[in-house]
Chain A
Amino acid sequence: MSEAAVKSKTVLFQITRQDGPDSDSYVEEFELDYRPNMNVISALMEIRRNPVNTKGEHTTPITWDMNCLEEVCGACSMVINGKPRQSCTALIDQLEQPIRLAPMKTFPVVRDLQVDRSRMFDSLKKVKAWIPIDGTYDLGPGPRMPEKKRQWAYELSKCMTCGVCLEACPNVNSKSDFIGPAPLSQVRLFNSHPTGEMNKADRLEEIMGDGGLANCGNSQNCVQSCPKGIPLTTSIAALNRDTTLQSFKNFFGSDRV
């Protein structure tokens, strides 16, 4: 592409905005000069420097969430051209124009593109997504983990609680209290750890409660949408097997942990 063509090129954005948690949403358009290697975040920063929409009106800068800028923290997730994903890795050169940005409405919208993902962190607490190792004395080293198991467990540990899987899931919505794929997969991660396994039943009991695992309808959108390629539906199916056995243990009684 010649220098002149690059100079005259512009990028058009249609951004779904909302002034506060209870306000109505509206769409505002912005046009920016094209620069090579832009991503959605650098474009939003550009709009913030000069918040003038396509009608020439001076408006408020757009609010969004971001942190690591390398698709590891999950904070900058939003719906870009209809697909939930991280805005830091959404390269302008790879997006169809006009570029439509909207908040992930599965979560409460704070303002513009910023959402409140607290429910996901609450879910992690609920399912005890940690390994209890504290004691009143040194408990010594834990059991070793087989290398093969470590390899697939590492994939599950890549979850950054970004919320894309909840946004994609048809069963996570205002009519249902389904916990969603991400925290379920964390149950499998911590249950597969040799020390975490000691509290396996506690975590399974939790996801067998209301809004838990059984709400999954197998649409499998989560595994298709996960930016980290986490095998979420394999985790869910494995937990289905574990909870089947756990429910038998609960009903008939068992001395196994």
Chain B
Amino acid sequence: MTETLDLEKLEQDLIAQVDQASNEQALEEVRIGALGKKGTISAMMKGMGKLDPEQRKSTGQALNALKARVSQAIATQKEVLKKQAMDLRLATEHVDVTLPARKRSEGTIHPVSQVWEEVVQIFGDLGFSVAEGPHIESDWYNFGALNIPDEHPARQEHDTFYFNPDKDGSRKVLRTHTSPVQIRTMETNQPPIRIIAPGRTFRCDSDQTHTPMFHQVEGLVLDSDIHLGHLKWTLTEFCKAIFELDDVKMRFRSSHFPFTEPSMEIDIGCTWENGQVKIGEGDDWLEILGSGMVHPNVIRAGGLDPDKVQGFAFGVGIDRIAMLKYGIPDLRAFFESDLRWLRHYGFSALNVPNLAGGLS
């Protein structure tokens, strides 16, 4: 009986000591005092050898249970103390989170590149591949093959950049349009042909709205039965897609280009509000595209037979689309590389245009 009472008393004492231990060191002392080699419980365990087997069994069970409970109490208290110590330490650790973060500079993509990708997304879906040609062109590819003979008045309207004549007297030009790619494509491909040719073009012209270098995208579709109706559909769908509108008011005007017959210019409806243009509706018109059915002479120049092959071509300004779509007022600023402009009108590196997510 007394033994039982002793154990209860001992347990109460030990638990009280554990609860009172205010730091890990004190707790460790309590543990050693109770469970260490010379601790009270250990001593009592050793003293059991003097008892008879019956008693030894019951006392042993009681001591073991006691030991387990004290150990548990110590472990629990240890966690509590650890937490307290950590809280104390953390209370001293403090930063002013309103201080600026580490700087990470973000780059941007130029609007011309962004629109390049948008145009490629749209036409890629229609099966157009992307063709290219050199910027320094021969007279033939830039003019002759496109049904613009030497003395054609249209040639004067091109404001061509020339290089000096070579020893044979022929002079290269900077391509005045992306149309030479039509000929280069016909020379190396057989119909059906569907290509777009985006790229730099050059005119010897510089004022408020003209820069000596700008960007165009050419389109060419050739097959046996392509007609004006296909051209109109393609350009209507393109305008809706690029400007991300359900409907775009469009006007198809008869016009003239030496390399197409019939030829047409396309205007899109717009309104002007506070100097900003709104595309797709309204009573004003903006000319954005030149196009037509490829002239038989051009098909012939490309090495194909105009009696078997026919189709359409078009050209549109990439910079112009960028200006209209993104409200960029000044063409010249495109090429000035002013970081403030690039950051303001540029696009995030990961904002890749795609048909699923949208083009802008």
A and B: interacting chains: no
Could you list which residues of chain A lie within 8 angstroms of chain B, going by C-beta atoms?
none
Could you list which residues of chain B lie within 8 angstroms of chain A, going by C-beta atoms?
none
